[in-house]
Amino acid sequence: MGILFTLPVAALIGTLLLIPIGQTVYYSFTNWDGFTSQWIGFAAYRHLFQNPEFVTVLENNAVMVLAIPIAIALPLGVAFLLNAQLRGWKFFRSVFFLPTAVSWVVIAFVARRFFDPDKQGILRSLLDHTGLGFWHPDLLAHEHSALIAVMITFIWSVFGTNMIIFLAGMSTIDQEIYDAAKVDGAGSFMVMVKITFPLLKRFVQFAFVISLITAFSALFSLIIVMTNGGPGYGSTTLEFFIYEQAFTENNFGVGATAGVILFLLVFAVSMVQMRMLRSDE
């Protein structure tokens, strides 16, 4: 009987997720062009890693990882402020979490204007108004800085999600621990460093993994609208490379090979996370 109730979900996931991922693995060893394919074995992977563009793409992914500590530290600090449950904290929580509801396309439109160096550029007018008008950075125009603009936008977007994770974590900490610390004369900074953060380890790990998976596999829409992967390959990450190879260059085989690499990366990160959760229990 249980098997019968499992059938719908098994059929759906099987045909539309598991078979395609199996096909991706198979085609990753071929020179597939969407119609015909020839088995070329591990040569496909060798070609890919010898491709300097692909190496740039992997480097971009590595650089994206650098955004994650900031994407965790900022919401962690703000969650700590909100956790004191000052008047109006629920309002702030709603506002900070609101960008979660907005699509990457919308965020990318605003971000493009934010980094635009012309007079309507938001960053530029901010600099002008704070006496830094002599400096007009044009992050999106340069190969080595476009990714920084993408990373800043990413940090803004995941702020709310990570804050919610930390608030959930803080609500699991017993109030008595705080009271005891106060009786012992600990200031709020000491409480944050010595009590809150260590007890939040599991939640920080979770936020880290979620942010990393987002950075590696959910920024396609942001990148295509904000930078289209450029200039050059400056802001092309692995997931964008896969789309580009397959759907604009018609290199379906290369896309599949890169798809397997992305899958392995995300899978490895998830497995590490599961391990950590289990070892804590």
Partner 1 sequence: MSTITWAERRSLAVWRRRGSKVLVYVALLAVTVIMLYPFWLMGQASLRSLPQYYLGRGFSLTTWHALFAALPIGHEMLNSTLITLSSILVILAVSTTGGYALGTLRYRLSGLVFLVVLASMMVPVQSMIIPEYINLAHLGWINHYYGAIAVYSALGAPFATFLMTTYFRRLPEDVIEAALIDGVGYGAVFFRIMLPLAVPAIVTVAVLQFIQIWDDLLVGLLFLQTPANRTITVGLETIPAQHFQNFPMEMAGSLVSALPAVLVYLIFQRYLIRGLTMGMSK
193 forms part of the interface with partner 1 (CB under 8 A): no
279 forms part of the interface with partner 1 (CB under 8 A): no
Residues 38-77 that bind partner 1 (CB under 8 A): none
Exactly one of 206, 211, 212, 233 binds partner 1 (CB under 8 A); that residue is 206
Quote the least distance from Cβ 141 to partner 1, whole Å: 15
Closest-CA residue to 240 (of 68, 110, 70, 56)? 56
Residue range at the interface with partner 1 (CB under 8 A); choices 38-46, 140-148, 174-182, 249-257: 249-257
- Three-class SS of residue 130? coil
Left if phi > 0, otherwise alpha if psi is -120 to 50, otherwise beta: which for 227? Answer: alpha
Quote the least distance from Cβ 167 to partner 1, whole Å: 8
92 forms part of the interface with partner 1 (CB under 8 A): yes
Closest-CA residue to 262 (of 247, 281, 244, 241)? 241
Contact 150, 216 (CB under 8 A): no
Residues 5-44 that bind partner 1 (CB under 8 A): 5-6, 8-10, 12-13, 15-21, 23-24, 27, 34
Q: How many residues bind partner 1 (CB under 8 A)?
A: 83
Contact 222, 149 (CB under 8 A): no
Separation CA 199–CA 109 (nearest Å): 39
Residue range at the interface with partner 1 (CB under 8 A); choices 39-47, 98-106, 130-138, 139-147: 98-106
Tokens at 79, concatenated = 């969650």
